[in-house]
Amino acid sequence: MNINLRETFKKCKYKFSGHGNNTIDVLKESFKNIPSEIDADIYGEGHVIENFENKIANLLGKDSARFYPSGTMAQQNALRVHCDEVGISKVILHPLAHLEKREEYGLKYLHNIDSILVGDETRIYTLDDLKGIKERYSVVLLELPARDIGGEMPTWEELVAMSEYTKANNIRFHLDGARLWEAQPYYNRTLKEICSLFDSIYVSFYKGIGGVAGAILAGNSNFISQAKIWQRRYGGNLISLYPYVIPANYYLEKRLGNMSKYWDCAKDCAARLNKIDGVETFPLIPKSNLFHVHIYKNKKEIESALNFIYKKISIGITPALTKIGKKYKFEISMGDRYSSLSKIQLDEFFNLLEEKL
Amino acid sequence: MNINLRETFKKCKYKFSGHGNNTIDVLKESFKNIPSEIDADIYGEGHVIENFENKIANLLGKDSARFYPSGTMAQQNALRVHCDEVGISKVILHPLAHLEKREEYGLKYLHNIDSILVGDETRIYTLDDLKGIKERYSVVLLELPARDIGGEMPTWEELVAMSEYTKANNIRFHLDGARLWEAQPYYNRTLKEICSLFDSIYVSFYKGIGGVAGAILAGNSNFISQAKIWQRRYGGNLISLYPYVIPANYYLEKRLGNMSKYWDCAKDCAARLNKIDGVETFPLIPKSNLFHVHIYKNKKEIESALNFIYKKISIGITPALTKIGKKYKFEISMGDRYSSLSKIQLDEFFNLLEEKL
């Protein structure tokens, strides 16, 4: 009998990852206490959007910030501005960067910017990697944490050294901060301190924050002025962005203070998983709310175990498995949900997993 | 004393153009009766967005449709797909096309597509214009109605002839239908009949419909499949677009049937304006809900008259004036507001305008 894990997962009342069901109530909740007579923003102008941009610029310690409908657009715009200023159409990306894997090569097709890929599927790149590159390039894009490598992050010292190296060599250092909020507790430094190492930063408002969509690009004023021109070229300065700005602001207020808690949940969950034979998390101790789970069993065994548990106790850990080599992998990304599970529920889940795998 | 017309206009309780104040209540009203537990769309998949795309594809008589956050993005994607298929990176645009005037030349910067400009500030282009072009090109983009020429439109016969000409010459015919809903009554034909003349169509859901933002690109299935790849390259397939889709659907249902009424309002208003010395509408008889007003007076005279009226009876006709040659111009775009003004109010407005100008 074929198992439809996604279906059984979907029916689970409880889940490990995320904040809750992704329904339109996410938007409705954020608008509940917003007065109806507030003016819509018009093409990027208006109190709601400008106040939010200023708030994030301050939070990240940058001169200027611009709200974007998507991070894809924000980052391509950022890289183009940097490349034009430095004068070389080449950037350093990890082979698993969003720009390489999930954007249909927009950077190449729309800007003719080439990527030099550094690092591999098991590790992020280091300062030594950068030093080894003989070609000239304009930008190093670093993702913190690196989602597709289980949320890996360089040490603070390594980060500072990379920042100094890029500065000394007229290379721009761009932060793919899709999950920067989630990365911050690991460094135990303020967002401002982290961002001071970078020339430009993209942050996201769904993922850990749990808004509806949208991103911010931050940097110095001249950089943002130029990015805005590209945003218009993309058709990205929509007539009104408040449907994303208001949830972004609401859930940022609600959840920014929870990032350490989500990290604790990840560490708790990983420790419980690592006790089970044939199961290993990557990293062994998560560095943020996000980590990967590797299971050294065949697909049928894993699916059958998970399916049994989902049906029996209605707690879901993943909707799907990805094959890598001889093992199977899935991602866990902690939000409000995990801590709402009782110790009894968690014990039951992990006992069953150990028993059935 | 300097007059701040925009400020006095803003304070007016009644206005000629539009449906109402552009506040966040536009979004709130459309979500009021939507059940909270409906799933968000994820990267273009999900009932809410797919049902709406299918509905619009059917309405326009095309195989396939894709929701976009903006028309700028939708049209650039459309032109790129057509140019790639035909094999020539050149398109015909009017010099006042949105792509020429309001997109920072995204088409050129992102796609290296050149535009051949046809027509001028006083007229749209004709089949004879097209026949006179000796260069080869891939696409003719026609805007119906042509906003910046007071909503001008070719006759049905001319439109059919242009369609036949493009078809016979392996040229793609693309409709900039930002205001197609508003244009339809003039032709007294169904949307399907109008759209059957075009290979691809962009329509908008704010403007006449009065939604929050968003657009649809429609065409055959292969064309839309390719456009979707470009949409991803642009970062335009947002994680969730329901904050625009739900208002688009709500206000389309509410207002699509009103387009003839808005046109009647435009004709009524234009006839009243044309009776006043020094005032002339373009076109003399509007062809849609949208037209331009030309006033042959100096700026101070006009602003002082309007300012007096706005303050006295709190009815606003325009926030600003644009100089063209020796006259001043503004746009009127009819929605729900005009017909909510009483005959007494309108008489008073136009009597005062005649008296004060």
Among A23, A40, A48, beta carbon nearest to B36: A23
**CA B304 from chain center: how many Å?**
30
CB of B104 within 8 Å of a chain A CB? The answer is yes
CB A211, CB A165: distance < 8 Å: no
Instruction: Verify whether the Cβ–Cβ distance A105 to B72 is below 8 Å.
Output: no
What is the crossing angle of helices B343-356 and B299-313, to 10°?
150
> Mutate which of A10, A27, A103 to disrupt the B interface (most B C-beta within 10 Å)?
A27
- Taking only the tens place, the pLDDT of each residue in A188-239 is 999 999 999 999 999 999 999 999 999 999 999 999 999 999 999 999 999 9
Report residue A273: phi and psi, to 5°: -70, -40
- Which chain B residues have a beta carbon less than 8 Å from that of A34? 24
Mapped to the 3 state alphabet, what secondary structure does A89-101 carry? CEEEECCCCHHHH
Give the strands of the sheet with B172-177, arranged side by side: B64-68, B215-219, B200-204, B172-177, B139-143, B90-93, B114-117
**Beta strand extents in A32-120 (DSSP E only):** 64-68, 90-93, 114-117
Which residues are CB-contacts of A140 (< 8 A; sequence separation ≥ 6)?
A91, A92, A130, A162, A166, A171, A172, A173, A174
- Which chain B residues have a beta carbon less than 8 Å from that of A111? 110
Low-confidence ranges of chain B (pLDDT < 50): none
Mean pLDDT of chain A: 97
Mean pLDDT of all residues in A300-315? 97
- Which chain B residues have a beta carbon less than 8 Å from that of A109? 233
> Mutate which of B43, B75, B83, B234 to disrupt the A interface (most A C-beta within 10 Å)?
B234
The pLDDT of residue B289: 98
CB A341, CB A334: distance < 8 Å: no
CB A215, CB A52: distance < 8 Å: no
Task: Tell me the C-alpha distance between B175 and B56, whole Å.
Answer: 15
Q: B283-286 contacts: CB < 8 A, separation 24 or more?
A: B283/B150, B283/B151, B283/B152, B286/B150, B286/B151
The pLDDT of residue B2: 80
CB of B244 within 8 Å of a chain A CB? The answer is yes
| A17: DSSP letter | B
Residue A149, token pair as written in the block: 């490598």
pTM over 0.95: yes
Which residues are CB-contacts of B73 (< 8 A; sequence separation ≥ 6)?
A234, A235, A236, B215, B231, B234, B236
CB A24, CB B36: distance < 8 Å: yes
- Taking only the tens place, the pLDDT of each residue in A9-29 is 999 999 999 999 999 999 999
Residue B270, token pair as written in the block: 């234009």
Rg over alpha carbons for chain A, rounded to the nearest Å, is 21
Q: Give the DSSP H or E segment for B64.
A: strand B64-68
The pLDDT of residue A109: 98
Q: Give the DSSP H or E segment for A316.
A: strand A315-316
The pLDDT of residue A1: 63
Mean pLDDT of all residues in A273-288? 97
Among A24, A36, A103, beta carbon nearest to B40: A24
Task: Tell me the C-alpha distance between A54 and A64, whole Å.
Answer: 7
Residue A209: C-alpha distances to residues A121, A178, A250, A263, B248 (Å): 27, 10, 9, 14, 26
- Which chain A residues have a beta carbon less than 8 Å from that of B238? 69-70, 213
Q: Give the DSSP H or E segment for A328.
A: strand A327-333
Query: Considering only residues 296 to 315 of chain B, which have any Cβ-Cβ distance to chain A shorter than 8 Å?
Result: none
- Taking only the tens place, the pLDDT of each residue in B17-71 is 999 999 999 999 999 999 999 999 999 999 999 999 999 999 999 999 999 999 9
Q: Give the DSSP H or E segment for A269.
A: helix A259-274
- Taking only the tens place, the pLDDT of each residue in A127-164 is 999 999 999 999 999 999 999 999 999 999 999 999 99
Q: What percent of chain A has pLDDT over 70?
A: 100
Among A34, A106, A213, beta carbon nearest to B239: A213
Residues B284, B285, B289: CA angle, nearest 5 degrees: 120
- The ipTM estimated for the assembled molecules is 0.97
Which chain B residue is nearest to residue A31, measuring alpha carbons? B28
Instruction: Verify whether the Cβ–Cβ distance A39 to B26 is below 8 Å.
Output: no
CB of A32 within 8 Å of a chain B CB? The answer is no
CB of A71 within 8 Å of a chain B CB? The answer is yes
Nearest residue to B204 via CA among B248, B164, B257, B170: B248
Residue pairs spanning A and B at CB distance below 8 A:
162
| HSE-up of residue B188 (Cα within 13 Å, Cβ side) | 2
Task: Tell me the C-alpha distance between B104 and B83, whole Å.
Answer: 20
**CA A218 from chain center: how many Å?**
16
> Mutate which of B43, B49, B102, B110 to disrupt the A interface (most A C-beta within 10 Å)?
B110
| A23: DSSP letter | B
> Mutate which of A30, A112, A113, A239 to disrupt the B interface (most B C-beta within 10 Å)?
A239
The pLDDT of residue A240: 98
